[in-house]
Structure 1
Amino acid sequence: MSKTYNAAAVVVAVSMAAAGCASRSDDVSAAYVSPIAYQSYSCRELGQEAQRVSSAAATAAGVQDRQRTNDAVATTAAVVIFWPAAFFVGGDNAKTAELARLKGQMQAIEEASIQKKCGIAFNRS
């Protein structure tokens, strides 16, 4: 009976951990941000805003990927060592929403740049 209980506990822990893992930064979709917000910007101002948003997005992506790594470690610990560790898997949260918003801003800046013929484009590698 205890072997069945342990196996069930592991299955539940793995399922919870897998569902709660943070997404890779590359897998976070951009939230919609209207390019109208940047309509009054000059090309120079768009360029400055592009640099600010790009820097913030790079930082947010690093935080997101670190969270994913931490979640993977906690998941491994939950499966291999101690299944209650699955409850420490952080998952997607405000950090993911922030990254999605920044990606949306990048798209909106690019769209405004196209409309104004500024030539601003973000490198997405």
Structure 2
Amino acid sequence: MNYRVMIPLLGLILAGCASSSADIAPSYVSPVMYQSYTCQQLALEAQGVSARAAALSGAQDKQRTNDTIATTAAVIIFWPAAFLVGGDKQTAAELAQMKGQMAAIEQASIVKKCNIQFQGKPEG
């Protein structure tokens, strides 16, 4: 195959790969939805959201690895393997939502002076 054709093809294939979980920005979630929560409820909600986000992050990163393997196979061995590269937009969207909820919970806990320790800096 001609290199002038392969390089743009590789770029198109890579564009379809799943994003790394760390690269997914949070969706905006208003902290107002948590204003009626007590500090204890905020802490419990944060634990639940954090657990779900961790599971989604693992699934997203696994999909990225699978897409990378398929892309490598497509470029080096067998170009029809490029059709196996598709990312997982549903997981990415849900992960963005969980990250947004976590930021909203953290903001609500700050307003209520709950003194809950969060591991990351709120984004957004």
TM-score of the aligned structures, taking structure 2 as reference length: 0.90
- The structure whose Rg is larger is 1
| Counterpart-to-counterpart distance in 1, 2:8 and 2:99 | 34
| Contact 1:13–1:83 (Cα < 8 Å) also in 2 | no
Q: Determine the structure 2 residue equivalent to 1:27.
A: 23
| Counterpart-to-counterpart distance in 1, 2:120 and 2:73 | 33
| Counterpart-to-counterpart distance in 2, 1:33 and 1:121 | 20
Q: Give structure 1 stretches of 5+ with no counterpart.
A: none
State the identity as a percent: 56
Q: CA deviation at 1:91?
A: 2.0
TM-score of the aligned structures, taking structure 1 as reference length: 0.89
Secondary structure in structure 2 of the residue aligned to 1:102: helix
Secondary structure in structure 1 of the residue aligned to 2:99: helix
Q: Give structure 2 stretches of 5+ with no counterpart.
A: none
| Contact 1:106–1:122 (Cα < 8 Å) also in 2 | no
Q: CA deviation at 1:92?
A: 4.4
Which runs of structure 1 show a deviation greater than 6 angstroms over 4 or more consecutive aligned residues?
none
Q: Determine the structure 2 residue equivalent to 1:101.
A: 97
| Contact 1:25–1:64 (Cα < 8 Å) also in 2 | yes
Q: CA deviation at 1:27?
A: 0.6
* 1:73 pairs with 2:79: no
Greater helix share, 1 or 2?
1
Task: Show CA shifts across 1:49-104 (max 9, x none).
Answer: 00000000000000010010000000000011001111110224111000000000
How many residue pairs get matched?
A: 121
| Counterpart-to-counterpart distance in 1, 2:4 and 2:80 | 13
| Counterpart-to-counterpart distance in 2, 1:121 and 1:107 | 13
Q: Determine the structure 2 residue equivalent to 1:53.
A: 49
Q: Determine the structure 1 residue equivalent to 2:112.
A: 116
Q: CA deviation at 1:123?
A: 1.1
Q: Which amino acid aligns with 1:86?
A: A
